[in-house]
Structure 1
Amino acid sequence: METTKNYKKLITLLSIIIPVAVAVLFGVKIDMTLPIFLPPIYATINGITAILLIAAVIAVKNGNIKRHEFLIKIAMVCSGLFLVMYVLYHMTSDSTKFGGTGAIKYIYFFILISHIILSIAVIPLVLTTFVRGINKEVEKHRKIAKYTFPIWLYVAITGVIVYIMINPYYVVS
C-alpha cells in the first residue's frame, strides 16, 4: 500500500511551485479584456468551497466516508478553479486598491494578509491530508485534518469577505 511518504517530494514540490508560479504570473500582464468579470465568480467558488468543506465534515461525522471523499475532491477542484481564475484576472487586469479608510482599512488588510499567508500554508496541509485519506491512513489523516479543515475553511470564507469588501472599488470596463 502506498503511504504519504511516497508523495512527500511531490507535495513539497507542489507546495513551492504553486505559490511561486502565482507570484511570477502576477508580474505577467496580458493585454486583453476577458469576456466576463471574474472576481464575483471566483468569490462564489470560494463560498462553494466553504460549504463543501462543512458538508464533508458533516458527512464523515455521520460515517459517510464515500460522500466525504467526494465532497473533498470537489472542494479541491473548486480551489483549483479559483486559483486559475484569480491568476487569469490579475494577469489581464490592474490590481484594485481598497478605498476604505479608518478602522475598516486595517480590518480589510488584516483579513487580506492573513488570507494570503494561510492560502500558501494550506497547500501542503490539504495535499498531505488528502493523500493520507486516499491511502486509508485514517489516524494520520484525522490528526492533520483537524488543522487543515479550519485553515482551509478560513481561506475560503475570507476569500469571499475580501471580495465583498473590495467590490465597491472595482472599475469594470
Structure 2
Amino acid sequence: MVRAGITAARLTEAAAAMADEAGLEKVTLSALARHFGVKDASLYSHVRNLRDLHVRIALLASEEMTGRIAAAVAGRSGKEALVAFADAYRDFALERPGRYAATQLQLAPEEVADSVGFRRSVELTYGMLRAYGLAEPDLTDAGRLLRSTFHGYVHLELSGGFGHTRPVRESWARSLDALHLVLTNWPSRPDGSNR
C-alpha cells in the first residue's frame, strides 16, 4: 500500500481501476482509503465527497474513450468512420467497464464545463454524422440514435444479455451495416424539408 504522494489525480486513477475491477458501485471513499493505507478523512483534502470522485472518474474516462475514438476515426468518413467509431466505443466499454459506467452518469453542466473529453466527444460524433449530409436538428437526432444503440448493445453484452449462439461480434457488425443504411437514407423532416 502506498501512503505518500496522494493527489487527486492518483486517487482518480486508483478509483477508476477499482471501478473496472469491481464495478463503479463498489468504489467508495472507504475502499479507496484502504487501498492507500490511510484513514477516510485523509482523502477529503483531495476530493470533496463520493460524488466528486465519481465525476472525476467520468471525466478521466471520457477523455480516454474520446482519445481512442479520435484515433480510430482519423482520416475516415462515411461507413468506415462509423465502424471505427463504434468499434472504439464498444472496445473501451468492454475493456474498461467501470470507467464506461462512469461516462453514463448524469452530470451537471458545471461539472463538465471544462471537460475536453465530453466536448470532443460531441464534436467527433457530429463530424462523423456531417459526412452523411446531416444538419441540425437531424444531427442531434442521429447522435441520440447512435448513442442509444451503442450503449444498449454494450450494456446487454456486459450483463450477459445475449444468450443466442450466434457470435455477438457478427451481430454487432450487422447492426453497424443497418445504422449506415439508416444514416445514408435519413428521412426527410415531418415538414417535408430535406437535410
Fold conserved (TM > 0.5)? no
The structure with the larger Rg is 2
TM-score normalised according to structure 1 size: 0.30
TM-score normalised according to structure 2 size: 0.28
Greater fraction of residues in helix: 1
- Compare relative contact order (CA 8 Å, sep 6+) and give the higher one, 1 or 2: 1
